Every structure is written in structure tokens, then in C-alpha cells.
Chain A
Amino acid sequence: MDFTFSDENESFRAEVREFLDEHVSPEIVQEMRASAAGEGIGRLTRELIGKIGDRGWIGMSWPEEYGGRNADLIDQYIFEEELARARVPLNLGNFIEQAPAIMHAGTEAQKAYFLPRLVRGEVTFALGYTEPSGGADLASLKTRAVEDEDGFLINGQKVFTTRAEQSSHIYLMARTDPDVQKHKGISIFLVPMDTPGITVRPLWTLPGGRTNEVFFEDVRVPKDALLGQKNGGWYIGASALNLGRAGARRYCVYVSPFEDLLRYLREDEIGRELAADPVVQDKMAQLYCEARVAKLFTMRSLSMVRRGENPPYEISSEKVWGPEFQVRTTEAASQILGDYHQLWEGDTAPNGGSFPRQYVGAMVSTFGHGSTQVMRTAIARRGLRLPKE
């Protein structure tokens, strides 16, 4: 066992930190906040993404043939940690989430087109999985893609399609054969968002962000929009989700409210008075231990993936423990800070008003990318081999 990072790892961390200190201005952060609130990706953000791409830090752990630099997954983890530490509200992981599936199942032409554009941030995907009829029971999806001589005709609806308004493409899961067992009639399509027939409607969310509904009405795509085998999409989707799960980004999201609360209680004048209460200190110590577990779970998954193992349940444990910890933290913060915790803005609002946003935003973690209940079932069945009913 080794719980620390090597000198090389730490010097890479210093390099990233220096870069972010130099290039992340308050104006960029402001622009990214506006972007999360539905304003689209701004000019400054695009420039920053370009600079990060120039340094080879997007998709850095990919093989060189696909535009990566074969970097150790630990470097990617450190990069994500530093982005979170700098409170850069930019999820570069989202930009390239679909890349492993394209490497795995794409044609040479698809790889040549998408992969270099993904690492440069020129192509971005929204994830077209969830439908109004359900997210956890994904395989029951209803969006249809019917093949004809020219390609496929798509009709249906997706929901909670975050970043659909600012993505160049959608990674779309649709039913291509309604007459077989539900997992076996699904295909994946890589569809440009400007294809005629696609309509995006915003859904505004409590923490001040935006997600979307996306409607497909007689959307016509060519044959080469299909990724992998027709009717084989379920199995590509599953592998893409797994590869995307070993990274620091999620745990950083889970623990950031705790870090903000700790900083406020240590550094702010009112915070310090509140923290003179041993009951508050006990609660903070408890939350610290739980935050540490969230981080260690991530380090464990990363260690397993680096060893070439496919963690049977450990990533799902991260996805139960972390989000529920995040919610416990925001609830504890609300009872430590009391009246102050409600303030969205103003000089007396702790931490610039971040706490109410984190409070109403924490819930998203407990159902985004699979609810904690779905994750528990996965732990029990895949990890502990408990039987299906």
C-alpha cells in the first residue's frame, strides 16, 4: 500500500496549479457560471479550453494514436483535483466521456474524425440516454431509429440532457429493433445537434443551472452515424459508463461543500465564533472522516483500474457514499450556520452565497448518473453476488 503521490506526480500537480493560477481569471469563472446557467460556452472559456488542450491535458491518458499521451491515470486524477481546488466550474471529463466508446467500437473514419476534435474541445457530446419514461431502467427506452436505404429516421424524446444547448453532438441511444429482448434491440448514434428535426427545450434547475429536454421529429441521419453494430449499442454504452467512472472529479464535487464550510469556520470572524462550540467541532471532525473515506474510495478505484482490474462494485460504493455524504454535509452546514446559510447574496452571505446553492444542488448527486438506490442494488448483485428475485 502507498497512500501518497510520487515526486513526479507532485511536480505535475505544481505545473497544473501554476497554469490555473495564471490563466483562470475571475472573469472566466464568472463566464463559466453563466454558461452553467444556460448562456452557452463563452469566448474566454473556449480560449482556456484551447490552452488546456494545447498542453495535452484533455484526454491525456489516451493512447498516443488517438491524440492522447499515454499519461498515467494518476496524472489525470491530479489534474481533476486541481481543477476542483481552483473551483473552476468546468467539467472537462464531460467533454471526452464518450471517447472510450468510440475508441472501442468506432470505425477508423469515426475515430479519425471525432477523437482529435474531442481532445481539442471542438466536438462535445451531450449524453442522450434518459427518457421521460425512465433513467434507471434505461433499456426500456422508447426513442426509435428506423433503418432505410439512406440511413436512419429517428423519432422520440430525451430528458435531463445537460449541455445539449452547447454541445456539437449528442451521443444517442435509440431502439432499432422493438421485437427482441429489450437489451438486444438498442443502437448508439453520434448525431450533430444541428441536424434538422432536433429541438432543445431548457429545464431550469434549483442551483441555478440548466438541463434540457431534446425532441427528435423525423430526424434523418446517415448510416455512418451508427456507432458499432446495429442492435449492439447496449453493450457499448455499458463499457463507456464503466471507463468514465474512475476519476477524481466526482469525489471533488462531493467534498467541496465540506471544504467550503471548513474554510468558513476557520477563517471568517463569525465562522470562528461558531466553531468555538465543541458540538460544532465534533460534527466537523465526523464529516472530515467521511470526506476522507470518499477520497479513499476514489483512490481505491483508481488503484484497481491502474492494475487492469475491473472493479466489480467499488465504483458503485463511491456513488453511494459520496453523494449521501455531500447531502449530509449541506444539511449539517445548514444547522451550523443557521440564518446565514439561507443567504444567496450580499456582504454578510458566507462564502459569497455558495451555501444555499450547494444545499439545493447536492441532491443532484444522489440521482444523477444512476440513483444511490440503483447503485446499492448493483453493489449487492455484482459485488456480493446476492440473487435476483
Chain B
Amino acid sequence: MDVLLNEDEEMIRDTARHFFDAECDTDRIRAVEDGEERIDRELWQQLAELGWLGLALPAIQGGSEAPFAQLALLVEEAGRALAPVPLHPHSVASLALADAVERDEGGSLASSVLGDAAAGECLLTWAWSERLPGVGPDSVAMRAVPDGNGWRLNGCKRFVEAYDIADYCLVAVRTDAEGAPEDGMTLLLVEAGADGVSSVAQRALGGDYHSEVDFENVYVDGDALVGQVGSGWDLARPMLERAVVLNCAMIVGATRRAAERAFDYAKERVAFGHPIGSFQAIQHLCADMITWVDGAELLTREAAWHIEQGLDAALPVAAAKSFTNERCQMVLREANQIHGGYAQVKEFDQQLWYRRAAAWSMRLGTALEHRRTVAKALGFEEVR
């Protein structure tokens, strides 16, 4: 038992912190937010060269085979820096593909795409939620019907991150509509620009874009199968758990930075002849902020560690996400309060952290949804 970082973990955290501090200033963040490109291609390429796009992928796919907790630390640092690159969806999709390849399940497209994904030459994303967002199997209703060697897809996915800049999208569909929500699910790797696909990118609170993606009679070849037909939930469940933990890591990273900005501001800003950070009313806010974000960080790391060790992660993941969603919003709120009027001003940088970390806490399951999972794990009978 030692919940602190070990040497390897400290190294990836420190290297990433150093890199993003040096490379990723707020001008770069604002340039992407205000620009047309929606990704910092140069930064993306740098991440590829550092081996970070394949950090936790197997070596045979061009990855570094780092344990999952190290990827979570990297993503935490990217979140802290508000790095304007789709590291989250790309990592989530590529790890799911790697799972399928390792199990030797599905078509050959997954393995041929993975090497390019690690090299930054192929950008991946994933599509899960439809009308009712969430991370349960019942969020997936879209049908895929067998057609020759492959499938015909009809339906609509929502809240797809980075779809407009992605090359491939891992899509969860139903190949069998009967049975429990966990049954009859299949994962398919769809080319983003395939015939019959249309998408509308919608600007979100965090300054990035989420697409609503329509599939109209889209043909997908059998080669695009990821995992096994009908048992997609076997791959999707760990994929969603990783997605949730990496999302928590981003929130924690950005929220801690937002809090640190407020602590610094409290030391500089003078009122009534004293730095406001010398007032106990402000000091006690700051004490709560660091305590809350530390709590979210520890829960997140515990969840990441469970995943890394191959332990049942359902409870720690849900605990981390429900706590992080709510507590980090509280930290952000107090950080704004300390900044006062400047918190609302666009040209002042604090809002960059506030909007993103808050927006990230709205993705991949609400606190309420994750607490239902926690309650179930505690042995309570499910009531809906």
C-alpha cells in the first residue's frame, strides 16, 4: 500500500507537465477555440513523436505498453494544460481496438488502423450515446442489419467528440434487438466519411465541438468488426470504464490548475490594504478547494489503478466520477468567487479552465447515474 506515485508514474507526470508548460500556452488554446481547424495539429504531431498517442498500446501496434494509470496521469496533465487535442476520444477508441486485437477477435481493420493511430496519422473517436446519454448499455439502440459480407447501419449518434476531424469512429450498434441491454451489441469501426454518413458539429460549453452523426443505410464491411458479433458489451464495458476514468483525470487536472490560479491570485490581489489571501474567509475557501480536488484525485487514481490491475473497477470508477463531477464544479465555483468580476471576463484566462472542466463534468454519465451504480454495488436493489 502506497497511494503516492511511484518513480515511473512521477516521471511521466513530470515529463508531461514540463512539456505542456513549455508548449501549450493560452494563446494556443485560444487559437484553436477561435479557429476553424478544431485541433492543434502541430501539438498532436508532437504528442505522437513523444510516443504519447500510443502510451498504453501494445508494442506490436507501435505503443509503449505503459500501465493504464500512467496514461491517466498523462491525460490528467493534458487536462491541466487544456491541451487543444482530442487525446481522450483517441485513447479510448484505440485501447478498445487493442483489446479486440489482443483477443484475436473481429476483422483486420482494427489492427491495421492501430499503428497509424499511435503514430498520429489516423485520428480515432468513438460513438456511444443516442437520445438518452449515459454510460449504460441501454444508451445504445442504433441497429445494424446483416448485408452480404457486412452490415447496414441506420440511426443517429449524439455527443460524438472530434467527429469532424476523425478518420475512424468506433460505433456501438445493436445487431440483435432482443434480450437484455447487455446482449446483442456489436462494435464496428466506421470510416468517418463513409457513404450515407452525415454529421453536424455543435459548439459546446468547453469551446470544442460535439457532433450529431446520422447513419442512413451506411454499409460497413465485415472487416470493420471489432470484437465479436453480439457480445460488444464485453469490450464496451471496459472501454466505458477507461473513458470515465480518463475523463475524471482531465477534470481533476484542469480543476487543480483553476484552483492554483485562484490561490496565486489571492496572494497578489490587495483589498483593504492586505492580500485577500490573508483573510480567513478566503483561506477557508482555499482549504476546502484543495481538500475537494485532492479527494477527486485520489478516487480517480484508485479507479485507474483498479483498471490497471485488472480488478473489478465498477464501484471505484462510479465513485470517482460522481464525486469528481460535483466536487470539481464546487472547486471551480469557489475559484471564480476568489477572482470576483474577472472570472466572467473572456480575455482573462480563468474562464478557459472553468468552462472546460465544468463541461467535462457533464460528459460520460451524471453524478446521479454513477451513484445508481454505486448503490447497486453496495447491495441495494435497483429501482427505476
A residues adjacent to B (C-beta < 8 A): 1-6, 9, 74, 262, 265-266, 275-278, 281-282, 284-286, 288-290, 292-293, 296-297, 299-300, 302-304, 306-307, 313-314, 316-317, 320-321, 373, 375-377, 379-381, 383-389
Structural contact, A387 and B278, CB atoms closer than 8 A: yes
Which residues on A sit within 8 Å (CB–CB) of B283? 376-377, 380-381, 384, 386
If A262-B378, A303-B1 touch, whether A277 touches B383 (CB-CB below 8 Å) is yes
Structural contact, B375 and A276, CB atoms closer than 8 A: no
Question: In the docked arrangement, what's the CA distance between A308 and B372, Å?
Answer: 40
- Interface-forming stretch among B102-110, B299-307, B340-348? B299-307
Which residues on B sit within 8 Å (CB–CB) of A304? 4
Residue B2 CB within 8 A of the other chain: yes
- The 8 A CB mask of B254-271 against A (1 = contact, 0 = none) is 000000000100110000
B185 → chain A, closest Cβ, in Å? 26
Residue B277 CB within 8 A of the other chain: yes
Which residues on A sit within 8 Å (CB–CB) of B278? 386-389
B window 183-210: CB within 8 A of A: none
Structural contact, B383 and A321, CB atoms closer than 8 A: no
Identity of the chain B residue whose Cβ is nearest the Cβ of A4 in the assembled complex: B1
Structural contact, B9 and A296, CB atoms closer than 8 A: no
Structural contact, B287 and A284, CB atoms closer than 8 A: no
Q: Which applies to chain B's interface (DSSP): helix, strand, loop or mixed?
A: helix
B: interface residue count bin = 35 or more
A11 → chain B, closest Cβ, in Å? 14
Identity of the chain A residue whose Cβ is nearest the Cβ of B2 in the assembled complex: A303
Structural contact, A2 and B291, CB atoms closer than 8 A: no
Residue in B282, B305, B319, B372 whose beta carbon sits within 8 Å of that of A292 in the complex: B319
Residue B280 CB within 8 A of the other chain: yes
A272 → chain B, closest Cβ, in Å? 8
Which residues on A sit within 8 Å (CB–CB) of B295? 293, 296-297, 321
The list of the 9 closest CB pairs from A to B, nearest first, reads A380-B283, A285-B371, A285-B374, A376-B287, A379-B287, A293-B295, A281-B375, A296-B298, A386-B277
Structural contact, B1 and A2, CB atoms closer than 8 A: yes
Pick 6 A–B contacts, CB within 8 A, sort by A.
A1-B2, A3-B3, A3-B302, A266-B379, A321-B295, A380-B283
Name the residue among A277, A289, A377 with the largest chain B CB count within 10 angstroms: A289
If A281-B372, A281-B380, A387-B277 touch, whether A293 touches B323 (CB-CB below 8 Å) is yes
Residue in B1, B3, B290 whose beta carbon sits within 8 Å of that of A313 in the complex: B290
Residue B144 CB within 8 A of the other chain: no
Question: In the docked arrangement, what's the CA distance between A375 and B291, Å?
Answer: 11
B window 272-311: CB within 8 A of A: 274-275, 277-280, 282-284, 286-288, 290-291, 294-295, 298-299, 301-302, 305-306, 309
Question: In the docked arrangement, what's the CA distance between A303 and B4, Å?
Answer: 7
If A296-B302, A389-B278 touch, whether A276 touches B383 (CB-CB below 8 Å) is yes
B window 236-266: CB within 8 A of A: 263, 266
Question: In the docked arrangement, what's the CA distance between A389 and B281, Å?
Answer: 12
Which residues on A sit within 8 Å (CB–CB) of B267? 385-387
Structural contact, B274 and A284, CB atoms closer than 8 A: no
Structural contact, B298 and A293, CB atoms closer than 8 A: yes
B41 → chain A, closest Cβ, in Å? 33
Name the residue among B278, B287, B302, B319 with the largest chain A CB count within 10 angstroms: B287
B242 → chain A, closest Cβ, in Å? 16
- The 8 A CB mask of B30-49 against A (1 = contact, 0 = none) is 00000000000000000000
Question: In the docked arrangement, what's the CA distance between A249 and B99, Å?
Answer: 42
Residue B27 CB within 8 A of the other chain: no
Structural contact, A373 and B290, CB atoms closer than 8 A: no
- The 8 A CB mask of B128-156 against A (1 = contact, 0 = none) is 00000000000000000000000000000
Name the residue among A317, A380, A381 with the largest chain B CB count within 10 angstroms: A380
Structural contact, B277 and A276, CB atoms closer than 8 A: no
Residue B381 CB within 8 A of the other chain: yes
If A1-B305, A282-B371, A381-B283 touch, whether A292 touches B4 (CB-CB below 8 Å) is no
- In addition to A282-B372, A293-B323, 9 A-B residue pairs with Cβ atoms within 8 Å of each other are A3-B1, A266-B379, A282-B375, A289-B299, A289-B323, A289-B374, A300-B298, A321-B291, A387-B277
Which residues on B sit within 8 Å (CB–CB) of A376? 283-284, 287-288
